[in-house]
């Protein structure tokens, strides 16, 4: 009987010692699991980081509008320089005709106007402009004595007579501007009102004996 009492007493003591140890073991198990998870996260991040990084995208460089305008202007200047270099030198006769061309802004009939400008860098060459259209002209000899400038490529003709001028396009068979008068021609036109030019059909006066 006494032996059985001792066994029960020892079992109770053993159980009392075992329960706290078991409780500690249960609490320690989640801690280890949490630690393992915590340790696993940096490892996963490291593995992800170790992958080859994608090549950075190169942003398409937009064209600078100012630079584009500069390039276009430079190209236009080069083309104009090439055209002028190809222009032939004029003959002495053509240069003499060029000296008699009236220049400046000239009012014409029907509200039109034409501007005639000498090219200071190319003797004998003229820029003849009506509205936004500009012609590059040179003198052409005539048998009538009228001053004639031509832009052969465009088919334009500037015809200057004593008291007026006109702009024509012989390719289109069209008169573009008529009764254009420079300052010099206006003076001549006023003089002709009081002293009209003789008619070529009138008989010549006979010489007195």
Task: Going from the first residue of the chain to its last (209 residues), give the mean pLDDT of each consecutive group of 10, the final group possibly shorter.
Answer: 48 51 50 44 45 53 66 58 64 96 98 97 97 97 94 97 95 94 94 76 53
Question: Can you give the pLDDT at residue 44?
Answer: 42
Residue ranges of domains in the chain: 90-194
Question: Can you give the pLDDT at residue 134?
Answer: 97
Question: Can you give the pLDDT at residue 181?
Answer: 97
Question: Can you give the pLDDT at residue 53?
Answer: 53
Question: Can you give the pLDDT at residue 81?
Answer: 46
> Regarding beta strands 126-130 and 113-118, do their DSSP bridges make them parallel or antiparallel, or are they unpaired?
antiparallel
Among the four given CATH numbers 2.40.160.20, 3.40.50.20, 3.40.440.10, 2.40.128.50, the one describing domain 90-194? 2.40.128.50
Question: Can you give the pLDDT at residue 34?
Answer: 44
């Amino acid at each position: 009987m006494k032996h059985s009492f001792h066994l029960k007493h020892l079992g109770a003591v053993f159980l009392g010692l075992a329960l706290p140890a078991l409780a500690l073991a249960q609490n320690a198990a989640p801690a280890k699991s949490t630690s393992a998870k915590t340790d696993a996260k940096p490892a996963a991040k490291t593995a992800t980081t170790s992958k080859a990084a994608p090549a950075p995208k190169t942003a398409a460089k937009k064209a600078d509008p100012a630079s584009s305008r500069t390039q276009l202007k430079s190209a236009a200047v080069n083309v104009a320089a090439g055209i002028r270099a190809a222009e032939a030198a004029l003959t002495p006769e053509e240069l003499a005709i060029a000296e008699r061309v009236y220049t400046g802004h000239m009012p014409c009939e029907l509200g039109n106007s034409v501007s005639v400008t000498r090219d200071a860098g190319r003797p004998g060459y003229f820029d003849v402009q009506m509205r936004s259209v500009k012609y590059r002209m040179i003198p052409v000899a005539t048998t009538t004595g009228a001053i004639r400038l031509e832009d052969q490529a465009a088919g334009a003709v500037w015809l200057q007579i004593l008291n007026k001028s006109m702009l024509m396009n012989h390719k289109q068979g069209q008169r573009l501007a008529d009764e254009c008068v420079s300052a010099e021609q206006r003076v001549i036109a006023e003089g002709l009102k009081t002293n009209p030019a003789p008619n070529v059909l009138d008989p010549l006066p006979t010489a007195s004996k």
